[in-house]
Homo-oligomer: A and B are copies of this chain.
Amino acid sequence: MRTGEKVLDRAAATCILTLCFVCLHVTALKTQLFTRLGGLPYSTEPPVSYKTFYFDQKIDHFGFLEDGTFKQRYLLSDKYWQQPGGPILFYTGNEGDITWFCNNTGFMWEIAEELGAMLVFAEHRYYGESLPFGQDSYSDSKHLNYLTSEQALADFAVLIQNLKGTLPGAQHSPVIAVGGSYGGMLSAWFRMKYPHVVVGALASSAPIWQFPGMVPCGDFYKTVTQDFAKSGINCDANIRKSWKAVNNVSSSASSLQWLSEEFSLCAPLKNKNDVLTFKSWLQETWVNLAMVDYPYEANFLQPLPRWPIQVVCKYLSFDSTVSDYQLLQGVAQAAKVYYNYTGSSPCLNTSQTATSSLGYLGWFYQACTEMVMPMCTDGVQDMFEPEEWNFQAFSDECKAMFGIRPRADWAGTVYGGKEISSHSNIIFSNGGLDPWSSGGVTSNISHSLVSIMIPDGAHHLDLRYSNDLDPPSVRAARALEVKYFQEWIKKAKKAHRAAPTG
């Protein structure tokens, strides 16, 4: 497991979409993510109100030997639903607790009334409470075998067919899929594979092309770098220099102690491995900042100021005469913007591991099977230490960790890769600041496969609650999205009226 973790930890290749859609190395995944899911405060957002249901799903849609079922959780709000026939906005849950996505997708809550829509948030199997084998779901690769995007899409299809068949007034309700990040990929794929179930999809910040051979592996980190470059003078250049500075000051125990103290690390750095972990952690910090570079004070991954990268960059505007120590002092202050904006963190933790978190293992398994997303850095076009994408090493580590190997080409074969022009009614929205836009659809493919770019937007800003500080681009994006929704709904109703039978 250690070597497995090491490669997964170090390789840029392993940047993954996670619960928070954060590009993380494993350590940081373990460090940060799952310790924060429990108590996110939503004090600034309106309260959401829904009922929780559980649906009996087949564990295996694609085989008949395993005939067991599990309880798939879904949340439903029909407060504004205009029945009969009012539309259903269906969130295609991604790799985490569905209540978290429900609470973080304010856009759906804000447009429900206007559309007269029912809201449904469906949990993705193997996450949250929707565990096919209960506590054994993650016990081994045998139990994990039904954790695939295809099974998840089939869950959504079966659930919707059931809702339409059983909810009075829902039989002819047009359903629109909505999702962000991996959930956005699922929304897009859902419309592609089950166009008879959903009339359209909003795929927000969905990197459906972040697969082998589709986009350059370095684009992700280039976007991160650009965010820093434009947020402050010398900001990206100083981060690029900082890796060598860390190496330079890591030569002695006393320097390591100094570095640990500057960063207020909970556990002082002691050896080369610690330094590697430390650098990964820093790299992830910059990536996370790029993803949550929102125009207002927000608490998505961390409580942060508005435009946090600008704040971070204030500490990184040194000219070329700066010493390694001065530079790292600046880096430490910058990191603390991310980790201690509220001033309540006594120390920063680079190595905390996830304990019982299922989500962590779940996405890891998915990355090790279907979701092969090449990432790389060169240190020139990006501000990170050079690291090539090495599929073989990645595959070996997956084999060591789960006993299975990823299939590099499968996602492209099953979902079409860049050859998706024959599909229809999908909105691909992307933020210009979001590194995941590198794997997204950022230009129109056809009149009904449309791209909406939000130049000032970070990761699926459009799906968040509206805010007074929202840039006009995201306001326009949301308005356009609603316009498409209305068109799809209108067309579906017209088609229903024209149909000879109900």
Within A390-428, the residues touching B (CB, 8 Å) are 404-405, 407, 409-410, 413-414, 416-417, 419-425
If A422-B424, A495-B421 touch, does A148 touch B62 (CB 8 Å cutoff)? Answer: yes
Q: Is the CB of B193 within 8 A of A407?
A: no
CB distance from A324 to the nearest CB of B (A): 44
Residue A151 at the B interface, CB < 8 A?
A: yes
Taken residue by residue from 16 to 48, chain A's Cβ proximity to chain B (1 for < 8 Å, 0 otherwise) reads as 000000000000000000000000000000000
CB distance from A150 to the nearest CB of B (A): 5
**Total copies of this chain within the assembly:** 2
Chain B residues with CB under 8 A of A420: 196
Residue A469 at the B interface, CB < 8 A?
A: no
**CB-CB nearest in chain B for A421:** B495
In-complex Cβ contact of A148 among B63, B145, B196, B407 (8 A) = B63
Q: Is the CB of B422 within 8 A of A142?
A: no
A60 to B425: give the CA distance in the assembly, Å. 31
Residue A65 at the B interface, CB < 8 A?
A: yes
A195 to B65: give the CA distance in the assembly, Å. 29
A369 to B196: give the CA distance in the assembly, Å. 22
If A196-B416, A413-B157 touch, does A64 touch B421 (CB 8 Å cutoff)? Answer: no
Q: Is the CB of A142 within 8 A of B416?
A: no
A193 to B413: give the CA distance in the assembly, Å. 11
For A, the interface residue count at a CB cutoff of 8 angstroms equals 42
Q: Is the CB of B196 within 8 A of A145?
A: no
CB distance from A445 to the nearest CB of B (A): 11
Residue A249 at the B interface, CB < 8 A?
A: no
Chain B residues with CB under 8 A of A195: 416, 422-423
CB distance from A417 to the nearest CB of B (A): 7
A146 to B145: give the CA distance in the assembly, Å. 14
Residue A161 at the B interface, CB < 8 A?
A: yes
A-B contact pairs, 21 of them (CB 8 A): A58-B407, A62-B62, A62-B63, A62-B148, A62-B150, A62-B151, A63-B146, A63-B148, A64-B145, A64-B369, A65-B145, A65-B404, A67-B404, A67-B405, A154-B414, A193-B193, A194-B414, A195-B416, A195-B423, A196-B417, A196-B419
Minimum-distance CB pairs A-B, first 8: A196-B419, A196-B416, A195-B422, A64-B404, A65-B145, A62-B62, A63-B145, A64-B369
